[in-house]
Amino acid sequence: MISMRKLCKIIVPFCLLAALFAVVMCGGGAGESAYPDKYFVEGTRQERDALKNLFALLSSEVEPDAARFSLVREIANEYKRVGDYSRLVNFLADWVDKHPDDPFNTYYLFMTAYSYMEMDAAPVSALYFNLIVKNYPDLTIRGESIHLICLQQLINLEDNPEQKIWCYEELLSRFPEQSDKGVTWFMLAQTYEQVGDWNHAISAYTQFLRYYEAVVPGFPNAYAYAKQMVDFNNSSKNWTFESLDALVDTIKQNLDSGNVWRLWQYRARVNFFARSWAHAGSDDSGMAEFNLSSFGSRGKLHYANSLSADSNSNEAYLRTWGWSQFTPIWYFYFRKIYFPLDPEIHGRWEWAGVYYGERF
C-alpha cells in the first residue's frame, strides 16, 4: 500500500514544476498539439491557458511517477474547481485507459467515483468503488485506506444484499480495527436474514453479542433482538404450540384448575418477559427469572371469554384477573414465532410474556 504522506515527500518540488512551466511558456517542449483533444481545454481564457500548460507538461514525458501524479491531479482539480465534472471523469478515464500501469490509478478512479457522486449518479459511483476494491491495489489518503472508504460507500449505495454481505465481510477481515465491529456484525446478520441464510445470520448475531455496548443506528433494541434470536436457536423450543387456539385453551384450563405452578410450565423458556404497560417497549432480556408462583392468588383466577380486540395474526392478548391485591389484572401475551431457520417451529405460537395492570 502506497501512503499519500510518503507520496507528498517524493512529489516533484515546486521549483521543478515552475521550470517546466517556464519551458512551455518560452516555446520549448510541446506546443499547441501537446494536449490530446480540444474537448479537454474549455472555459475562460485564463482557464484554457492553465489547462494548455498543464497538458503540455504532462505530454513532455515527465519523470518520476510522482511528478506525473501531481500534474494529473492538478488537471482534475482544475475541472473540479469550475464544477466541470463531465470533463473531469472523461479525462481520468482516458488517462487510466492509456496508462494501465500507473501506480496511482487507484486514486484517479477514486476521484472519478466521487465526481459521479457530485453528478448525482450514485449507481455509477458504486460501480467505480467496486472496481477499485476488487481490481486495484490499495492506497492511503490522509492516513485512511481508499479501499476502506470504498467499502463504506458501497454499503450505503448497494441495493444488492449479496454485495453488501461481501462488503461487511471485507470490513471485518481486512479492517477490523478501523470499523465498528459491533455494528458491522449486526448489519451483516441482518443482511444474511434478508437473503434467507439463517445459519450465517445466527452466527453473525452470536458474534455481535460480544459487543453489548454497541449502538446500532436505526436499531435501538439491536442487542435484545440478537439475544432473542441466538437464545431461541440454542433452546429446546418444546414449549411451543401448533396454533393459537391450542395455546389459549391450555392456558385457560390451567387457570381454571388454579394450579399456578403447572401453568408456569407452559411459558417460553427463553425471552419471556414480565412488565407493566408503561414499559411495553423495554428490552426483553433479563426477564426470564420472573416466577409466576410468587404472584399467585389464594382465590379463583378469572379470564376473559375472548382475546383482546387488538389481537392479530401475529400477537394476541388474554385479560386475566384475581392475582395479588396490588396487581390483580394481568394480560397474557402470546406471540407467533418468527424463526425461518426451523420450518417446523416457524409459525407456531408461544406464551411470551405478561403485562401487569389494566391497559390504558
Kindly list the strands in the beta sheet with 273-276, ordered across the sheet, starting from the edge strand earlier in the chain.
273-276, 349-356, 329-336, 315-321, 302-303
Q: How confident is the model at residue 57 (pLDDT cuts 50, 70, 90)?
A: confident
How many CA atoms are closer than 13 Å to the CA of 100, on its beta-carbon side? 2
Q: How confident is the model at residue 278 (pLDDT cuts 50, 70, 90)?
A: confident
**Domain identity same for 47 and 139:** yes
Report CA dihedral (129, 133, 138, 141) to the nearest 10 degrees: 20
> Coil, strand, or helix at residue 126?
helix
Query: Of 179, 198, 228, which residue sits at a domain end?
Result: 179
CA–CA distance, 137 with 139 (Å, rounded to integer): 7
**Domain identity same for 87 and 14:** yes
* Domains held by the chain: number: 2
Q: Cell 481564457, residue? A: 45
Q: How confident is the model at residue 53 (pLDDT cuts 50, 70, 90)?
A: confident
More confidently predicted of 62 and 200: 200
Query: Of 179, 207, 235, which residue sits at a domain end?
Result: 179
219: in domain: no
Q: What is the pLDDT of residue 66?
A: 83
Beta bridge partners of 224: none
**Domain identity same for 56 and 148:** yes
**Domain identity same for 111 and 257:** no
Residue 42's domain comprises 2-179
Q: How confident is the model at residue 10 (pLDDT cuts 50, 70, 90)?
A: very low
CATH number of the domain within which 136 lies: 1.25.40
**Domain identity same for 78 and 174:** yes
CATH number of the domain within which 293 lies: 3.10.450
105: in domain: yes
CA–CA distance, 116 with 204 (Å, rounded to integer): 34
> Coil, strand, or helix at residue 91?
helix
**Domain identity same for 250 and 173:** no
Q: CB 284: neighbour CB atoms within 10 A?
A: 19
**Domain identity same for 169 and 91:** yes
**Domain identity same for 8 and 154:** yes
Query: Of 136, 157, 179, which residue sits at a domain end?
Result: 179
Range with the lowest mean pLDDT among 22-26, 165-169, 349-353? Answer: 22-26
**Domain identity same for 37 and 154:** yes
Q: Cell 506525473, residue? A: 68
**Start-to-end Cα distance in the chain:** 62
238: in domain: no
Short-list 166, 175, 123, CA closest to 145: 175
**Domain identity same for 164 and 284:** no
More confidently predicted of 1 and 86: 86
